Every structure is written in C-alpha cells, then in structure tokens.
C-alpha cells in the first residue's frame, strides 16, 4: 500500500466516524428539543451552569488518552453552547397546540405523524391525545380553544356527533356527513381530510378512478369519504359490499349493494376495504376469502396495522397490485396541517413521514 493509499484509508475512517457523530448529535438535539418543551412548561431557565459542569466532568472522566482532553473540552463546550442557543430559538417561537379527539387512542400514530410535520415546518407544536366519553363532547371544543388549542382531529366514534358544535363545514364535510379535522381559530370550522387523503393515496399508487368499476367493502364513515371521492372523480360504477346491503344502500341513495358472501371481484378495477375486519388485534381475519378477490385490478385496505392484512396477503398471492392505509393516514394528516397552518406544503413530506414512521417501528 502506498502512502497515498494509506492516507485515503485513514480519511475514509475519519469520514465514517464523522457520519456516526453526526447521527448521534442529531439524536442528542432531539433530546434537547424535549428538554426545551419541559422548560417551556415549567419555566425553568435555559442555562444551568452546574448541570453543564457535571456533564463536562463526566465526559472528561471517560477520555482514555490525556492528550485528547483539551480537544474534547473544546468540542463539548461548543456542543453545550449550540444546545443552549437551539433551546433559546425554540422557546422564542410561538407554541401551538393540537390534538386528536376520540374514545380509545392509545395506539394512535397521529402524534408521531404530526410531530414529524412540526419539525419539518419549523413549528413548535404539541399534539395531544384527547380521550373523552360521549357525555363530555358538549362544550369540548370551546374548552379546548380556551386552553390554547388551534386545531384538532376527530376519530371514531365522534366524527358525526362533533358536527353539532361547529359553526361551519367545508363542502366535502357536508357531502360526507362527517368531520375529522377542525380549525379552532376564527370560529369552529369542520373539514373531512379523509377525502383528500384517499385521493392522494390512489395517486401515489398510480390508480386511475376515471371510468373505473369500484367495489367498496363496508358502509360506515370511512366508506362515505371513499364513495364521495370516487363519485367526484369519474368512477363508472360503485358497488357497496356489506353484511347488510339493504341497509347500506339506504345510506347511499343511487348505489347498488351486494352481500359479502355473494361478491366476486372479477372485473372490478378497484376494491377498497373500509371495514375494520383484519385490524389489530384480530389480524387473522379478512372481509373476503381469497377466491372472492381473484380478478381484481387493485386492492386497497384502509387498515394500516398490521401493515399487511390477510386481505392484502391474498392480493399478493394472486398477483394483484395492492396497498394499505398508511399513506392515506399520513396524507389526511398532511392535509389537516395545510388547513391549520393556512399554507400549501410539499407533497414529498408525506413520503418522508412514512419512511420516518417505518424506520421507528
């Protein structure tokens, strides 16, 4: 090996160490962000000289080569200074509060999704899980506004009931008859971002709805958003597949219904499962048998936990293109952020958020 080759190898090693240090510094700054949030809540001062001195003493006690102590001291002085300055900037930003209203929310991914969007937008935002009983809905939105919330999402089972306390509704919320996003500034206005979220998910999968024959499994709130989008975007036909098709068509005048047992997907361009069948913890279930799914053009399951439901495994085994509901979940949150922030965001954020969520799974 020549001297030049040896130098290149050393520099490559330094580059690898630098990359590792960078990742660790990013992780450290994530913790610094959390400390800043605590200090905001408690009023603690940013600068704590005694704490910094203890950190430096602990670090130096672990330096094995005495020749490096001065360099390590210089580096950590800079790190601690950068941490103080970062906390100062965070605490100088206005703080925004958002949340999710629902009955049982412990497994929700929404806090992670919105925390990612806050970081990408440079917003000091907090997203809370707001579990309430039905009798607590009355006056809830006004109480949240008084507490400083700028906006909330709404999930099962309150997407319809919450509408009674709103001042106005977006066109798609009126059409669907359900709300999942509310802006608490300048009056209480409700939106349904499931509509746009579903559409963005189809676009991401390169699925065309124009002239498509579609079958929608289920007739609940999620189905309303799906059907509205399909009707508005040129679907040639929409079939409601349900355990009780007569009741289903009463909710959707003008559409045809069919029992689940009688359904066959052959000839349908798009099959969408809007039911909770197959969702965690009942992961061994499927709304359709494998033979019923044969012949479909594309299968979308709005469930995202598990990532691959039994229904989607059937699709994969049959060679049918398919996707789950994670993109739609993130996309509807993305649209909610656009509403709350009053700005258009880069659609690439959706893909980045999904990668971050899967990376932390």
∠ at Cα 268 (266, 271), nearest 5°?
A: 110
**159 flagged as catalytic:** yes
Which position among 54, 81, 112, 159 bears the catalytic label? 159
Q: How far apart are the C-alpha atoms of 189 and 142, rounded to whole Å?
A: 12
Which positions are annotated as active-site residues?
159
């Amino acid at each position: 090996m020549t001297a030049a080759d040896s130098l290149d190898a050393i520099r490559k090693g330094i580059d690898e160490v630098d990359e590792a240090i960078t990742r660790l510094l990013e992780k450290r700054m994530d913790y610094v962000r959390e400390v800043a949030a605590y200090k905001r809540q408690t009023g603690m001062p940013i600068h704590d000289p005694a704490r910094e001195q203890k950190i430096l003493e602990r670090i130096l006690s672990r330096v094995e080569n005495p020749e490096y102590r001065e360099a390590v001291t210089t580096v950590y002085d800079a790190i601690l200074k950068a941490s103080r300055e970062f906390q100062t900037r965070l605490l100088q930003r206005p703080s925004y509060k958002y949340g999710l209203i629902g009955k049982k929310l412990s497994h929700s991914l929404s806090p992670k999704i919105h925390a990612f969007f806050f970081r990408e937008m440079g917003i000091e935002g907090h997203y809370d899980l707001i579990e309430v009983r039905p009798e607590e809905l009355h006056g809830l939105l006004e109480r949240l506004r008084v507490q400083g919330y700028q906006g909330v999402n709404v999930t099962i089972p309150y997407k319809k009931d919450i509408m009674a306390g709103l001042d106005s509704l977006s066109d798609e919320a009126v059409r669907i008859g359900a709300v999942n996003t509310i802006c608490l500034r300048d009056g209480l206005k409700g939106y349904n971002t499931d509509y746009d979220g579903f559409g963005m998910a189809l676009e991401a999968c390169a699925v065309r709805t124009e002239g498509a024959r579609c079958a929608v499994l289920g007739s609940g709130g999620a189905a309303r958003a799906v059907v509205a989008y399909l009707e508005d975007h040129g679907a040639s036909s929409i079939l409601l597949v349900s355990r009780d098709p007569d009741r289903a068509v009463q909710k959707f005048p003008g559409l045809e219904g069919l029992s689940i047992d009688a359904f066959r997907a052959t000839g349908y361009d798009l099959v969408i499962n809007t039911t909770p069948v197959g969702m965690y913890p009942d992961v061994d279930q499927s709304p359709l048998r494998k033979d019923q799914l044969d012949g479909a053009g594309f299968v979308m399951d709005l469930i995202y936990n598990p990532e691959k439901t039994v229904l989607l495994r059937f699709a994969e085994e049959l060679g049918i293109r398919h996707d789950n509901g994670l993109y739609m979940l993130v996309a509807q949150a993305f649209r909610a952020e656009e509403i709350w922030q009053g700005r258009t965001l880069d659609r690439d954020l959706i893909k980045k958020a999904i990668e971050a969520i899967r990376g932390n799974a």
